[in-house]
Amino acid sequence: MTTNTSRDEILRRIRQALGTPTPTTPPDPTTIPRNYLTTHAHRTPQQTTNLLADNLTDYRATVHRTTETHLPHTIANLLTHHGTQRAITPPGLPPHWLTHITTPLTTTTTDTHPDPHTLDTIDTVITHSALAIAETGTIILDASPDQGHRAITLIPDHHICIITPDHIVESLPQALPRLNPTRPQTWISGPSATSDIELTRIEGVHGPRTLDVIIVTAEPSTAPAETVSDEPSA
Amino acid sequence: MSGTYLGLPSFPKAAHDSTRDTQLRANLTHATHTIRTKRATAINELTDWPQLRAAGAAIKDHTLHHLDHYLLQLEAAVTAAGGTVHWALDANEANTIATQIIKNTGETEVVKIKSMTTQETGLNHALETAGIHAYETDLAELIVQLANDKPSHILVPAIHKNRTEIRDIFTTHMTHWGRPAPDNLTDNPTDLAEAARLHLREKFLNTKIGISGANFMIAETGTMVILESEGNGRMCLTLPDTLITIAGIEKIIPTYQDLEVFLQTLPRSSTAERMNPYTSLWTGTTPHDGPHTFHLILLDNGRTDTLADTTGQQALRCIRCSACLNVCPVYERAGGHAYGSPYPGPIGAILTPQLRGTTTPLDTSLPYASTLCGACYDVCPVAINIPQVLVHLRERITQGGPTTTHGTRTTIQPAKGHRLERTTMRATRWTLNHPTALQHAHNLATHTRHLHPQHLPGPAHHWTDTRNLPPLPPHTFRHWWQHHHQTPPTTNTGKGTDTRSETATDTGTDTGTAGTDTGTGTGTGTNTQTDGGPQQ
Amino acid sequence: MRVALFLTCVNDLLYPDTGRAVVTLLERLGVEVDFPLDQTCCGQAHYNTGYRHETEPLARRHARVFAGYDYVVTPSGSCAAMVRDNYPRLGARARDEGRGDELAKALAGVPKTYELTEFLVDVLKVTDVGAYFPHTVTYHPTCHGLRMLRLGDRPRRLLEAVKGIELRELEGAEECCGFGGTFSVKNPDVSAAMGDDKVRNAESTGAEVLCAADNSCLMHLGGMMSRQKSRVRPVHLAEILASTEQRPLELPDQAGPVHVTTGSTVGEQR
């Protein structure tokens, strides 16, 4: 049986099952009830960032907070601390983030596939992120130039991922409208993990075993005061 | 479904052995109770869980009711994004398409992500026959494959193996498949995971073809979605040149926005996490990133027949989270293998007999593998009323009736092996619908109660194998009511008469077999002990 | 208030004491109870085993017998659930089969059926029914009560108000006991394994009594406890609630295939 026939037959069976011998009329998805919440609490930006950090930590990522000024130091320190011999970055990462690095650094290009065997010899990958979701502790990569090919954040055993303040949302319903679904996306919530052996959680099976997340916060001098408006006293 | 599941014993026969396997019972109890507790915590974090659950069910129902439309939309979107879409009516066709794609590349090895759909089609066996080696890369699937075993849980396929058994499997079998296990491998889970990492890395780096299933397929964009934890999925989806995805046609959802529901409900229901470690989304092919060739095989294999059943079709909402397994007391005692398909537990008990039909002793026993306790329905994130479908399928087995098989509407006969039960049911129904006869039967039973055996004959012996019968009191309640309880002044005139009912509404199918056994389906004998029953 | 007792077939034949306890209890609370003698069986065992067509005559009978009452009360969660959840399905399926609305209309006449604890708490609005039961008790919430009727804490509130009682937590209380009607015969090994675990959990509480609001579950568990010579006794919740200081429910003091008997005390009240 050729696949064309199977296609027709499957469509025929569906229409028979639904009692609609001709193609069904264009559906109206607005009938689906969507009265679930778009966020599960009212939070200040600071509270959202704290929640993100808590949830990332809960899933065994290591969270570091720093300012844009100190970011190059933080990245360099993490490489030193990890004992990184070779690191890799995507082509679009802001160069001034990498100014303190002394480790040998490879930068990928957008128009070629990175070689997996070469990636297997690299210790650390440093990337930006497209978005982070506080309620679930999730980082989203969408293969933009500052995040690179999917393979570079997969094969090296150590991932340093940078989250900038304008890329933090509270919840899934807030996240999806900000993403392009047709870009290859990788959603990361903590390092690779398995619980397949007696439900014992083990970090790192195939993906990076160490996930360092750097949350970039506003400069202290320019940071707006984190206050929730006070109720007038009676 | 797959030939690898042919000829398996009925559920009660398989469970006879598995309930006696104390190691298995201990593993299952530990695992299911742990995940069950964690899941409850994860779900309690979301105050809008009922709304998310209702939305998930509605999205799935909406999609199923316009399945032709959304499949065509998906096909167009995948094709526009550089992919190739194939349609497979059954397991054989899906396997043949996949085999041909691989043969055309000249490759003889593939890496696989855990995929229940390819277990359903028996793909690995089909590939092996064609000289193609398929490597399972999920840790648990690797364990199961190396041990030449079958998965027993949707989420934790090797739930039936403990660490020492896994160490022994690695030490003995890895060497035949590739990189051997390290010398002196311990049974520490971290060491075992490291052994798997090393063994599989050479497969990931060198294999040119990846095979996956899909958790969701988004019709509007042609995007595939896979949720996983270990990163083996990312490896298979990213590194090979060619990617083949085999997915049931029910895995479709209309829009990208719909993920905001399922990515909240699936991880929490499945691994009891706010979010699983890795979720991958891809749309066709992307230049210089990931596979340059993408094939999507859309599988029917009984799904359209299931769709044709208005009660049973809700099983197609399933998002394979396995929450129903983890709360099921029957699954916990019988284990996953007793269900004889890639789909164990309550969902398997309603999905398998619909996908495969009810022709084998195993498949006709599955709808009875439940006490109808309802725990599965409570936890289901897409609100599949599993007890309702179980009863519906029992009816198909005992009564037969209209159904759809391979796309053809047909009327099936009652399944074999239910003659005695059917006769009993008919006789008890007749008696229960004739109160006078019932009262006579009661009187006969109570008057002869000293003669009743302690051990019941026929299939009912299963009751007295492990339980004593309740003592039969000397008198029924109605006897007491009639003789000792003053009838209230407001007699319910007209309601006590029974003359109409004894004849008028009888369906006439019985032949007056007012069985002398007054069974109500729950046993009516008694022991011979003189009881200290009610004295009047 | 015209209240009909829907006793269930199992209770009528095997557990008449439970029926008497319900009558005693309701009359003590000032409710006039009727027992329509033409009632037999709601058809649950037939329906749940897959014999929907055999169920229909029983459902029609049930609807006819109980039509016209203000309330129907039953000491069985699963039979209440059968009438409330599945009777509408019988009508809907008949319609699907091209038999029109006749069955649905016939079955729609059943007055609202209340499980006993619902009737006490929701309709009579009592939790302290004046009961006395100086024993240690552990409570097993049956599946249909828990998940189909959503009885919630009603049984527990009623038990907590019983004078002299000492309640013990049952581990894994929400788990099915393994009875499941014909399941217990069709899947005997799994049923026994589930029952064993429930009995073990009941025994580990140290309670004298395992209480539930459904005798079919207690028949299964009681049968196992009796076979295993357990010292725990199965008692229906209605019998505890009917027990008073004047007419206390007495427990047999020996293990053996005897279920708790209350008839002499309860029955002689009238």
Q: What is the DSSP string of A21-65?
A: SSPPPPP-GGGS---S-S-SS---HHHHHHHHHHHHHHTTPEEEE
> Angle of helix B259-270 relative to helix B49-65, nearest 10 degrees?
120
**For residue C113, pLDDT beyond 80:** yes
Rounded CA-CA distance B430/B412 in Å is: 25
- The pLDDT of residue B489 is 47
B92-128 per-position pLDDT tens digit: 999 999 999 999 999 999 999 989 999 999 999 999 9
Measure CA C208 to chain center.
20
Q: In whole angstroms, how far apart are CA B215 and each of A148, B222, B281, B487, C240?
A: 25, 13, 10, 63, 51
The confidence score (pLDDT) of residue B498 equals 40
Instruction: In whole angstroms, give the CA distance from residue C23 to residue B72.
Output: 64
Taking chain A, what is the end-to-end CA distance rounded to the nearest angstrom? 81
Nearest chain B residue (CA) to C175: B329
Residue B347: pLDDT band (50, 70, 90) is: very high
Q: Provide the chain B residues 456-485 that lie in CB contact (below 8 A) with chain A.
A: none
User: What's the mean pLDDT when you consider all of chain A?
Assistant: 89
| pLDDT for residue A220 is more than 90 | no
Dihedral sign for Cα atoms in the order B168, B173, B174, B175: positive
Could A116 and B204 be called an inter-chain contact, meaning their C-beta atoms sit closer than 8 Å?
A: yes
Lowest mean pLDDT among A36-50, A90-104, A164-178, C246-260: C246-260
- A81-95, B139-153, C154-168, C201-215: which has the minimum mean pLDDT? B139-153
Q: Answer yes or no: are the C-beta atoms of B392 and B311 closer than 8 Å.
A: yes
Q: What is the pLDDT of residue B4?
A: 58
Which of A204, A168, A205, A194 lies closest to A55, judged by CA? Answer: A168
Segment (H or E) for B38: helix B22-44
pLDDT at C61: 96
- The minimal CB distance from B522 to the residues C10, C54, C187 is found for C10
Mark yes or no for CB contact B534/C45 under 8 Å: no
Nearest CA in chain B to A138: B275
Judging contacts by C-beta atoms under 8 Å, the chain A residues touching residue B230 are 192-194, 196, 205-207
Q: What are phi and psi of A32, to 5 degrees?
A: -75, 125
pLDDT of residue B417: 79
Which residue in B has a C-alpha nearest to residue C12's C-alpha? B477
pLDDT tens for each residue of C123-142: 999 999 999 999 999 999 99
E-strand ranges in B177-299 read 209-212, 216-218, 223-228, 242-248, 252-253, 278-283, 293-299
Confidence of residue B153 (pLDDT cuts 50, 70, 90): confident
State yes or no: pLDDT of C255 exceeds 70.
no
Let me know: does B143 contact B164? Beta carbons within 8 Å. no
Angle between helices B386-399 and B345-356 (to 10 degrees): 40
Contact flag B279-A149 (C-beta cutoff 8 Å): no
Kindly report the average pLDDT of chain B as a whole number.
Answer: 88
Q: Do residues C232 and C260 touch, judged by C-beta distance below 8 A?
A: no
Whether the per-residue pLDDT at A16 is higher than 50: the answer is yes
Euclidean distance between CA atoms A34 and B261, whole angstroms: 9
Instruction: Return the pLDDT at B27.
Output: 87
Q: Which of B316, B246, B212, B121 is nearest to A14 (CA)?
A: B316
CA atoms within 13 A on the CB side of A76: 13
pLDDT over threshold 90, residue B129:
yes
